Amino acid sequence: MFTAILVAEIVRGVGGTFISGALSAWITDEIGEHAIGRVFMRYNQVRQGGAFVGTLLGVAIASIRLNLAIIAGGLL
C-alpha cells in the first residue's frame, strides 16, 4: 500500500513539473523574453498576497470555531 502511494506521488510530482514548465514556456513565447521577468514577478506578488490574506482569514475563522475554517476551506 505504501509503495503504491509513493509511486503515485512521484508520478504526480513529475507531471506537475512538466505542466509548470510547459506553462512557463508558453507564456514566455506569447509575451516575449523582454517582459517575462515583470510578469513572473507580478504573479508571485499576487500569489503571496493572496496566501497572506488567506492565512489571516483562516486564523480569523478558526478563532470563532476551529472546524469552521476546515469546512470553509473544503467548500472553496
Question: Per the structure block, which three cell numbers stand in for 19?
Answer: 505542466
How many Cα atoms within 13 Å fall on the side-chain side of residue 31? Answer: 12
**pLDDT at residue 30 in the model:** 92
pTM equals: 0.65
State the pLDDT confidence band at 20, using cuts at 50, 70 and 90: confident
State the pLDDT confidence band at 17, using cuts at 50, 70 and 90: confident
pLDDT above 90 for 3? yes
Judge contact between 40 and 48, C-beta under 8 A.
Answer: no
State the pLDDT confidence band at 8, using cuts at 50, 70 and 90: very high
pLDDT digits (tens, 9 = 90+) for 43-54: 999 999 999 999
